[in-house]
Structure 1
């Protein structure tokens, strides 16, 4: 004869009353994140040059950059924490931070605004507009190919190197790509 289901259920209840809980007591005990956890994206907006490389590299299109307004926006719900934006950022102002974003009932975005820069004497920095040294340049066109804004135009035969200062975001990728170190960033 088969055992009635009521006794099976009562046995499980009594067993569970005296066992240790299977879950942690969050928020009373701190969360221990797994070593390979991706986390979420964090930005240091004061170091951002709003070049838009992170936006163009994002496979889920969760990031929007408005260069004129100086804003960086992320749709946390759309972000898949792949880290492409972190790897692409030329100024290394994006980071993968351990932990989850706060849960919410609404799908919302976070917008960060660059602080307004005060006019000061030009500090020595690793940013500025690229300047080409004609004696070192071999007109290989690598700088033009690597420029994310297509701000550099090189004509190899005529030995012409032009910079569209309106398009240039001072990311420095062209200087890093130059095999002859013919490009310097001048602030």
Structure 2
């Protein structure tokens, strides 16, 4: 008598390992959302993108100096603020550095485009300020101790302090009115005009 080897049984559904998944997906709702037709829901901790309230901007340039990839450019003379959206890494460093809090992080994504482009915002013209009053910070009496903190904090180098001669001077043409000098003064003898 001939001995037969035991042959394994074959199951036809093993030839189609994803058949169950395909059938399940045919009769269930899609996992994706119809984004253009339904509003997008962003995660709670999403960084978003940078937005500016250009009318509050004083063009001090602190945001551009604190931007790690160099995506921001500020032109004080022209009153413009420019951002390269695709260079921006949404770190929020510019938002933290802004003394006037005119920069904010807004939920949302940068819209895709075929070309890299930049957005430029122009500050509206401010009313004329009389000479000698352009963002000046007078020293209050003899309270100044000439510690030079205000000069060190000034982003434009508008303040000069000479400790030996006990003099303090302001170049009103360079001053942008950011208020960092007044905030850093330990004696609170500087004020914004």
TM-score scaled by structure 1? 0.88
Give the conservation status (yes or no) of the 8 Å contact 1:133–1:182.
yes
- Match of residue 135 from structure 1: 142
- Structure 1 residue corresponding to 2:27, chosen from 18, 37, 45: 18
- Structure 2 residue corresponding to 1:77, chosen from 74, 86, 110: 86
Task: Map 1:1-187 onto structure 2 (within 5 A).
Answer: 1=10, 7-119=16-128, 128-186=135-193
**Which structure has more strand as a fraction of its residues?**
1
| Closer/same/farther in 2, CA of residues 108 and 147 from structure 1, 3 Å limit | same
Larger Rg: 2
Q: How many residues align?
A: 181
CA distance in 2, matches of 1:83, 1:14: 46
Please list every run of 5 or more consecutive structure 2 residues that lacks an aligned counterpart in the other structure.
1-9
TM-score scaled by structure 2? 0.85
CA displacement at 1:130 relative to structure 2: 1.6
Please, which moves more after superposition, 152-161 or 85-94?
152-161
Give the conservation status (yes or no) of the 8 Å contact 2:80–2:123.
yes
Please list every run of 5 or more consecutive structure 1 residues that lacks an aligned counterpart in the other structure.
122-126
Deviations 1:69-119 (A, max 9, x none): 110000000001111111111111101111112221211100000112244
Calculate the aligned-residue CA RMSD, in Å. 2.1
